[in-house]
Amino acid sequence: MKLSPLQIARYQYNPKLPGMLRNGIAEICVKNGAPTESVADQEKIKALFPNTYGKNEITFEKGENTSPAKKQIVGVILSGGQAPGGHNVVSGLYDALKATSKENELYGFKGGPSGLIDDDFIVFTDEYINQYRNTGGFDIIGSGRTKLETEEQFKIVAENCKKHGITAIVIIGGDDSNTNAAVLAEYFAANNTGVQVIGCPKTIDGDLKNEDIECSFGFDTATKTYSELIGNIERDANSAKKYWHFVKVMGRSASHVALECALETQPNICLIGEEVAAKKMSLAQITDYIADSVAARAAKGMNFGLAIIPEGIVEFVPEFSKLIAEINELLAGSKADAFNALATWEEKYAFIKNGLTEESFKVFEILPAGIQQQLFLERDPHGNVQVSLIESEKLFSEMVKKNLAARKAAGAYKGKFSPLHHFFGYEGRCAFPSNFDADYCYSLGYNAFMLIQYGYNGYLSKVSNLSKPAEEWIAGGMPITKMMNIERRHGADKPVIRKALVELDGAPFKFFEAHRDEWAVETCFTFPGAIQYFGPSEVCDLTTHTLALEKA
C-alpha cells in the first residue's frame, strides 16, 4: 500500500487530550454531578429504563484513580455513515485501555452493528491501530446500518459477549445508534449481564447535539471540506463573472451543514429547511427569494453568484410534502396498475391532474418537467416517491430560470442567468480529520474507556467546553436517558434522543439572518481554503463558526 506524504506526517500527530486527562491514567478520578432527568416525558422514560434512568452526570478530574482493578475486554463498533475522526475514537479508546493494563483487550466488530450479531471481529494490536491514527474513513473495521433494537438481537449480543468475556461495548454512532445503545444498556443491566454500554456522538450532519453534547464529531471536518470547495467556487464565480452556482450539501433532516458552510463562505443565498418549515414557505416563495437576489445582482452588473441548498430542503416545504403524500396515495398498491397501463406521458399527466387535489396539482404544475416525471416514474419498491433522489439544486435553478424569464418579459430584469450544479457529500465524510476532530475524537475514545473503567453503563462519552483550547476541555459522562423523549416513529411511541434541528432563535441562525440581505446583493464571499493540519493555530485549530457563536 502506498501512503501519501500527508498520511505519513499525520501518523506523527499527537492528539490533544483535555487537560484533566493528561496526567496519566493513575491520576484520573470521578467527580460526581447531580442526578439527571430526561429532557421530556420523564415518567415514561423512567418506566422504560428502570435500571439506567436518573443516574448522575459525572466529570473527571485530577486525583487518585480509584477504579477497581479488572481485566477489561471491550468491543467497539462504528455505526451508520462515515464521519472524519472515527479512527481516533478507536485509537483513544485503545490507548486508555492499554495504558490501564497491558492485559486489557479491544475487539473491533466489523461492518457495524451486524458484526456484534455475526460475531465478526478482530482483536486490535499496536501495529494495526497505528495504521489508522489521525486518518479519515471507517475502514479500520467498516461500518453498517443494521439497527440493533430487538430483544432477540440483544440476546445474541449478550451471548457473544459472554463467550468472549466482553465487559463493555462502545457504540460510535448518531442519534438513532445512541438511542439503541441506551436500550441495549438497559437490557444488559436488567439481565445482569455485567456488560456496560458507552456511546460516542458521531454525525457530520450535526444534528446530535443538546445542552450536554456541544457537537457531534465529524461535523467540523466535513463542513470545512465543503466550505473549502464552496469558497473555491465562489472565487471562480467572482473571477469568471458569468455563472450562478447551485451547491447542494448533505444533511437531510437538519440544515446545520448548510448553515455552517454559509457562515464560513458568505454566499449570496443559503436555504435553511427549518426556516422554510416554520414560515410554511411555498416553492414559489423560495424561488422568488432566490430570483430577487439574482435580479438585484444583475442590476449591478453581477450575473453570477452562489446558492447553498440543503439536501433535504423539499421535505421542509409543506405544500411539497402534501403533494408527495397525495402521489403516494394516488399510486398505492394496485392503483398504480391503471397508471402504469397508460402509454404516453400526456395520458399519465391527465391521470395525475384528475387524481390530485387542486391545491397539490398547482404545486405539481409549476415543477420542471424532469422533476414531474421523476416523481411518478422513479418510485421505491413500496411504490413511494423517492424524495432523496430529487435533485433539489436543479429544481430551484430551473424554477428560478422560469421566474426570471417572466421578469424579463415584464421588463423587470435584464441580466443573464447561467446556472451550474454541484453536490457535496461523499467528498467530506472521510477526509483526514481536522486537528479539532482528531483531538475531540481521541478524547471521546479515551474518555469512553475511563467511563468503562469506573463502571458506568448507558452513558454517552462527553467532552465539552470545545470552543476553548483542548487544555480547557471538560471530560465526563452523561446518562443517555437524559437526552431522551418520546416521539412517534412508524406509528408507535418510542423513546428516542431528540434530534437537534437548526434553532431559529439560536445565535448561528441569528447571525446569518442579520447578514444575509447584504450577502444576497453584494459580493461578500469568504474563502476558507483547504483544511490545514500544521501551521499557525488560528488557521489549523479553530472549530466551527456554529460552535463559536453558540458559545459566545
- Interface contacts to a second copy, rule CB under 8 A: 1-7, 9-10, 81-82, 111, 135-139, 142-143, 225, 228-229, 231-233, 235-236, 238-241, 245, 264, 266, 420, 422, 426-432, 524, 526-536, 538-540, 542
Q: Report which DSSP code applies to 502.
A: P
Cell numbers linked to 418 = 447561467
DSSP 331: T
Least CB distance to a second copy at residue 418 (A) = 12
Q: Which CB sits closer to a second copy, 302 or 324?
A: 302
- The CA distances from residue 506 to 182, 256, 503, 510, 549, in Å, are 28, 12, 5, 6, 9
Which cell numbers in the block locate residue 59?
466529570
Q: CA nearest 234: which of 522, 541, 536, 550?
A: 522
- Which of 86, 146, 152, 85 minimizes the C-alpha distance to 111? 146
We find the least distance from the C-beta atom of residue 87 to a second copy, in angstroms, to be 10
Identity of the residue, 197 or 430, whose beta carbon is nearer to a second copy in the bound complex: 430
Question: Which is the catalytic residue, given 176, 205, 220, 439?
Answer: 205
Shortest distance, position 365 Cβ to a second copy, whole Å: 22
Burial of 169 (0-12, 13-18, 19+ CB in 10 A): buried
Distance CA 470, CA 435 (A): 10
Task: Dump strand ranges (E) for 20-157.
Answer: 28-35, 56-62, 73-78, 105-109, 121-123
Specify the residue, 5 or 68, whose C-beta has the smaller distance to a second copy. Answer: 5
Q: Which is nearer to a second copy, 2 or 490 (CB)?
A: 2
- In angstroms, rounded to a whole number, what is the distance separating the alpha carbons of residues 141 and 131? 12
Q: Left, alpha or beta for 534 (phi > 0: left; psi -120 to 50: alpha)?
A: beta
Q: How far is the CB of 526 from a second copy (least distance, A)?
A: 5
- Cβ nearer to a second copy, comparing 411 with 535: 535
To the nearest whole angstrom, how small is the minimum distance from the Cβ of residue 544 to a second copy?
13
Which is closer to a second copy, CB of 126 or CB of 538? 538
205 is catalytic: yes
Q: How many CB atoms lie within 10 A of CB 552?
A: 9
The DSSP secondary-structure symbol of 45 reads H
User: Could you give the CA distance from residue 136 to residue 533 in angstroms, rounded to a whole number?
Assistant: 13
The CB-of-247 to a second copy minimum distance in angstroms stands at 10
Kindly state the smallest distance separating residue 7's Cβ from a second copy, in Å: 6
Distance CA 121, CA 380 (A): 34
Quick one: 432 or 454, whose CB is closer to a second copy? 432
Cα angle: 15, vertex 16, 17; to 5 degrees: 115
Task: Return d(Cα 78, Cα 81) in angstroms, integer.
Answer: 9
Q: What angle do CA 340, 343, 344 make, to 5 degrees?
A: 110
Q: C-beta of 266: minimal distance to a second copy in Å?
A: 7
Please list the alpha-helical segments (H only) found in 241-316.
256-265, 273-278, 283-299
In this structure, which amino acid lies at residue 477?
G
**Cβ closest to a second copy, residue 251 vs residue 428:** 428
Q: Looking at the annotation, which residues are catalytic?
A: 205
